[in-house]
Amino acid sequence: MTHTSDLSHAIWRKSSYSEGGANDCVEVADGHPGIVPVRDSKTPEASPLVFPAASWCAFVARVKGRS
């Protein structure tokens, strides 16, 4: 996991499980080859965490019970 500072133009989306809630959501930014930026919707001004895409895919599969 690494941090990055150049995601000022990232378009963030919330989990489909958030049901449109304003807070308490994990947000991800698509369209960044090889990485997945992740942030907490409660603190959007904080530096996002950036994971390798393969690691993020493995995490999501595990959460969904597909591993």
pLDDT digits (tens, 9 = 90+) for 1-53: 554 557 888 999 987 776 666 667 889 999 999 999 999 988 888 989 999 99
For residue 28, give both structure tokens: 């991800």
* pLDDT attached to residue 15: 75
- pTM here is 0.76
Rounded to whole angstroms, what are the CA distances from 59 to 6, 9, 32, 46, 56? 24, 25, 17, 22, 5
For residue 27, give its domain range.
2-63
Domain count, the chain: 1
pLDDT > 90? residue 57: yes
